[in-house]
Amino acid sequence: MTSTDQTTDRTTEVPTDDPATAATAAAAGFAARAVGLRKVFGPTVAVDGVDLDVPTGSVLGMLGPNGSGKTTLIRMLLGLTRPTAGRAELLGHDVGAAAAAALPHVGALVEGPGFHPFLSGRANLSRVAAAEPLLGGRPLAPVVDDALERVGLAAAADRRYRGYSLGMKQRLGLAAALLLPRRLVVLDEPTNGLDPAGTRDVRRIIGELHAGGATVIVSSHLLAEVEATCTHVAVLQSGSLLAAGELRTLLDTGGSGLVVSTPDVELALRTLREVGVTAYRTEDGVAAADDGPPAPEVIALLVRAGVAVHEARRNRTNLDELFARLTEETP
């Protein structure tokens, strides 16, 4: 996440990227990075200067209410949308210039499943498989059958997609994302339209991907879903990154963090994140977790950086409440 040192223990557990793919040493530990990503659609700012690092091997839950910019951020990370400013990296490759090097290793289900209604599930998946660079030269039929089996669609494989239920469509979308072993899997609202059994399946799949060393980015507007499966969390609201960090750290922050009232929010956040403190925006300033230097040092650091500190106190808001407030209110 924004602070690298809290994640180093995790990245070392995971099989490291091959040297050619990890273009820069600095990026080696991150499966995906957003650097100052911003997207403006006409008068609407969909994503507003997001910095986000997704450590290799983590499961990142991207949380936020509808319209908070989750999908736009994911689309920019995958190179489907051109950012207005900033840049994105996938598996160490710049998305603008070299997405083709990373994308074969990335599986994605973005904005719901997209398939042709007049083709069967199997035919649709065969078409997806034909376009996969890493399947080049291999027979596709067994790969497709495996994927259908894995998501529980084998029985309905030869029915037309037109007749699929919402859940079956979602399952076919998952099958396409997981057609072959991936290093990064991006799932945008994967449990949409799924019954409880389907939701459990998605959780199981995410767990298995995680155990296998893959990185997973999963977006959701449901806290429970994220809490159950994720190691890391990023909270978005109105296009801004409200909080990002290890789930455990963020949840702990609620009880014992430091709340600083200041008008210089951007500067404060930058200063705190530079020294490895998990920090997020609050109503009138920033909140800092206790994962960095002790409180007096943090305050001194802010003052030295030129941040006008109006008030500093122990945090009393629970992050749980923050999540609930974020995800239940419609902004």
Rg (the chain; Cα; Å)? 21
Residue closer to other proteins (CB basis): 132 or 227: 132
User: Locate tokens 């273009």: which residue?
Assistant: 23
Residue closer to other proteins (CB basis): 18 or 328: 18
Contacts to other proteins by CB under 8 A: 15, 18-21, 75, 78-82, 99-101, 103-106, 108, 110-119, 123, 126-128, 130-137, 150, 176, 178, 181-183, 204-205, 208-209, 211-214
Residue closer to other proteins (CB basis): 115 or 280: 115
Structure tokens at 119: 């083709």
Residue closer to other proteins (CB basis): 133 or 306: 133
What's the closest the beta carbon of residue 204 comes to other proteins, in angstroms?
A: 8
What's the closest the beta carbon of residue 106 comes to other proteins, in angstroms?
A: 7
Q: Cα separation of 87 and 204, whole Å?
A: 32
Residue closer to other proteins (CB basis): 110 or 319: 110
Residues with Cβ within 8 Å of 44's Cβ and at least 6 positions away in sequence, in order, are none
E strands in the chain: 30-41, 44-55, 59-63, 85-90, 93-94, 106-109, 184-188, 215-220, 232-237, 240-246, 258-261, 279-281, 285-288, 311-314
What's the closest the beta carbon of residue 120 comes to other proteins, in angstroms?
A: 10
Residue closer to other proteins (CB basis): 107 or 239: 107
Residue closer to other proteins (CB basis): 15 or 263: 15
User: Locate tokens 């969909």: which residue?
Assistant: 46
- Helices 141-150 and 121-130 sit at what angle, rounded to 10 degrees? 120
What's the closest the beta carbon of residue 85 comes to other proteins, in angstroms?
A: 16
Q: Provide the H-helix boundaries in 132-264.
A: 141-150, 166-177, 196-211, 223-229, 247-256
What's the closest the beta carbon of residue 200 comes to other proteins, in angstroms?
A: 14
What's the closest the beta carbon of residue 17 comes to other proteins, in angstroms?
A: 9
What's the closest the beta carbon of residue 278 comes to other proteins, in angstroms?
A: 28
User: 39-57 burial, b if ≥16 CB within 10 A, otherwise e?
Assistant: beeeeebbbbbbbbbbbbb
**171 near 199, Cβ under 8 Å?**
no
